Structure 1
Amino acid sequence: MSVFDLQLETDRLLLRPPRAEDLDAWADFSADEAAMRHLGGTMPRSVAWRSLATVVGAWHMQRFGFFFVFEKSTGAWVGRVGPWHPEGWPGTEVGWAIRRDHWGKGYAPEAARATMDWVFAQHPWQEVIHTIAPDNHGSKAVAAKLGSGLLRMGTLPAPYAGQVVEVWGQARAQWLAQEAAR
């Protein structure tokens, strides 16, 4: 089975690796100043294409990458959530970015929970982190809902070189114990 056949489901969401036909939704998201505030800023469509190709390439190189998230009821593209660990990153991350018109619906923690279950079942990661800008209170709330806490301060590699982030997260054992208790 190809990784591109992979799908995760929650009660409300479908998660799958990105495809070429997702470019329009990704480019629209990438042009939204509020949504991209903590993700390096807006991107014109040509750069969004390159960004999409990077995510698809991560799936080929590492057998994981961001999932694109869709509402099951409408088929609407919600955002991207999932595992991320490019060269020089401060750890094995599960991150999220949700379209502004879907903020406040609980989609980020719902999709991140499914992704973290998948990561710990399929990969030998001993820790999952979430790199969060110090003023990104929404992402801190999502991390807290996942049971993650502030672990340390860190910096990101180029093209974000020197950007200070809060590194939230938790160990595999903590996640598995927490999920067993759910």
Structure 2
Amino acid sequence: MTPPVPRLETERLVLRPPLPEDFEDFAAFSADAEAMRHLGGVQPRPVAWRSFVGLVGSWHVRGYAFFSVIEKATGRWVGRLGPWMPEGWPGTEVGWSIARPFWGRGYAPEGAAAAIDWAFDTLGWTEVVHAIDAANTNSKAVATKLGSRYLRPGRLPAPLDLDVELWGQSREEWRARRAGGTPA
């Protein structure tokens, strides 16, 4: 049985499953070479569509996937983040991808912290990893801000076929950090 479809809120963000009206922003994000540099490269619109409906399908089949990240102040789609573990994935991931116009605002750690709480509390995960391209210093900084550390090498399955660094932490480490009042 899959858990109920959530709507998570942080101070500045709403995290919810993708809706059809999110696709235009998702496609624009997927076509941005700089935003996609560490995510396997630009996706043409038809490939972006398949990625988008793959997220929607994962919500129906598994009860989780990346959330659409919505900025509360404007209602704008600012990215995708959350729990992700498709077939062959190297671990129970909470990942993040924020559209370039919204970089530098702290949305990735803010949203990822809420998604990590949800993954541990609702999905019952015991570890969260972040699959990060070795050259992606920005994502490593987000992971560090979340209290994660380098764990081990990993590889993303086909069609990506990418070597990555797996950063992350255990549920116990996360909860101890949160109980200590350390914000993300």
TM over 0.5: yes
Q: Please give the per-residue CA displacement for 1:15-36, whole angstroms capped at 9, x wherever unaligned.
A: 1000111111101111100001
In the alignment, which residue of structure 1 is the partner of 2:110? Answer: 110
Task: Give, in angstroms, the shift of residue 61 of structure 1.
Answer: 1.2
The total of aligned residue pairs comes to 180
In the alignment, which residue of structure 2 is the partner of 1:49? Answer: 49
State the alpha-carbon separation in 1 of the partners of residues 21 and 78 from structure 2: 15
Consecutive unaligned residues in structure 2, runs of 5 or more:
none
Give me the CA root mean square deviation.
1.3
Q: Please give the per-residue CA displacement for 1:87-108, whole angstroms capped at 9, x wherever unaligned.
A: 1111000000000011110000
Consecutive unaligned residues in structure 1, runs of 5 or more:
none
In the alignment, which residue of structure 1 is the partner of 2:68? Answer: 68
Matched to 2:112, the amino acid is: A
Q: Tell whether the 8 Å contact from 1:78 to 1:98 is kept in structure 2 after alignment.
A: yes
State the alpha-carbon separation in 1 of the partners of residues 37 and 4 from structure 2: 30
Task: Give, in angstroms, the shift of residue 2 of structure 1.
Answer: 8.1
State whether structure 2 residue 174 is matched by structure 1 residue 178. no
State the alpha-carbon separation in 1 of the partners of residues 75 and 21 from structure 2: 13
Task: Give, in angstroms, the shift of residue 153 of structure 1.
Answer: 0.9
Inter-CA distance 2–130: structure 2 relative to 1 (3 Å threshold): closer
In the alignment, which residue of structure 2 is the partner of 1:137? Answer: 137
Q: Tell whether the 8 Å contact from 1:3 to 1:17 is kept in structure 2 after alignment.
A: no
User: TM-score, normalized by length of structure 2?
Assistant: 0.95
Inter-CA distance 96–151: structure 2 relative to 1 (3 Å threshold): same
Task: Give, in angstroms, the shift of residue 155 of structure 1.
Answer: 1.1
In the alignment, which residue of structure 2 is the partner of 1:91? Answer: 91
State the alpha-carbon separation in 2 of the partners of residues 2 and 129 from structure 1: 21
Alignment of 1:153-164 (within 5 A): 153-161=153-161, 163-164=162-163
State the alpha-carbon separation in 1 of the partners of residues 3 and 167 from structure 2: 31
User: TM-score, normalized by length of structure 1?
Assistant: 0.96
> Displaced runs of 4+ in structure 1, greater than 4 A?
1-4
In the alignment, which residue of structure 2 is the partner of 1:24? Answer: 24
Q: Tell whether the 8 Å contact from 2:3 to 2:122 is kept in structure 1 after alignment.
A: no
Q: Please give the per-residue CA displacement for 1:22-51, whole angstroms capped at 9, x wherever unaligned.
A: 111101111100001111111122211111
Counterpart secondary structure, 1:82: strand
Counterpart secondary structure, 1:15: strand
